[in-house]
Chains A and B, each alone.
Chain A
Amino acid sequence: DIQMTQSPSTLSASVGDSVTFTCRASQTIYTFLNWYQQKPGKAPKLLIYATSDLESGVPSRFSGTGSGTHFTLTISDVQPEDFATYYCQQSFTTPITFGHGTRLEIK
């Protein structure tokens, strides 16, 4: 299985900050990387697919980069509704695997 490692496990930020989440794959997944946001008691929400494509309706302050084994998700100008847990997911091969998540908390 491809292991997905997210860092850090928790990120503290203030409204208006720019934050970057990191996701690493245990082997190359090219650009088969998707990002999700999950709030407590809710289903995950797709933010970015294919490493850098913004899902329809997702604010442009979210952006993704990377390829191979190293990927990042950046939120510029963090808003109050962005405090949540973020998961990366590889879809290069099955079993599809997720990272363990990074929780974005209010500083």
Chain B
Amino acid sequence: QVQLQESGPGLVKPSGTLSLTCAVSGGSISSGYYWTWVRQAPGKGLEWIGETSDSGSPNYNPSLQSRVAISLDHSKRLLSLSLTSVTAADTAVYYCARGTGSYRPFDFWGQGSLVAVSS
């Protein structure tokens, strides 16, 4: 069974960098999956941050593209997220998820990591 587990600081200062990792256990980390980050601000809906896969370069939401980087370490089975120049608007629960197949549904999710941006 595939399991995803996010980890990282729960508090980041404004203008700082948000860094999270997602440990992937069980299943293949390659084979055409889209390893994805999604966030959810308190009381709000879901926002796709971006994804990475074996098939090409990472793909980011244009609204965050200038500040975000996503990478996948196959040997450590670790998905990473970096978001720079954060503001209070970046306060959210951050989820990692696995997208699969051509319809790319997110079939496995981490439990989520709450990150607050505050001084």
Contact = CB atoms under 8 A, between A and B. Distances in A.
Contact of B105 (A1, A34, A99, A101): A34
B48 A46 contact: no
Majority secondary structure, A binding face: loop
A44 interface: yes
B103 A98 contact: no
B47 interface: yes
A87 interface: yes
Interface stretch (B12-20, B73-81, B82-90, B107-115): B107-115
Contacts, number: 63
Interface in A65-107: 87, 89, 91, 94-101
Contacts of A13: none
A98 B107 contact: no
Contact of A91 (B61, B95, B103, B111): B103
Interface in A5-52: 31-32, 34, 36, 42-46, 49-50
A34 B111 CA distance: 20
B45 interface: yes
Contacts of A50: 103, 105
Given A43-B110, A43-B111, A43-B112, A98 B48 contact: yes
Given A34-B105, A49-B105, A44 B59 contact: no
Given A43-B95, A87-B46, A89-B46, A96 B110 contact: no
Interface string B29-65: 0000000000000000111100100000001111100
Nearest to A47: B105
Nearest to B100: A49
A99 B45 CA distance: 8
Contact of B104 (A43, A44, A91, A101): A91
A35 to B, nearest CB: 9
A50 B99 CA distance: 13
A101 B106 contact: no
30 contacts: A1-B62, A31-B103, A32-B103, A32-B104, A34-B104, A34-B106, A36-B46, A43-B110, A43-B112, A44-B95, A44-B109, A45-B109, A49-B101, A49-B103, A49-B105, A49-B107, A50-B105, A55-B105, A55-B107, A87-B45, A87-B46, A89-B46, A89-B106, A91-B99, A91-B104, A94-B51, A94-B61, A96-B104, A97-B48, A98-B47
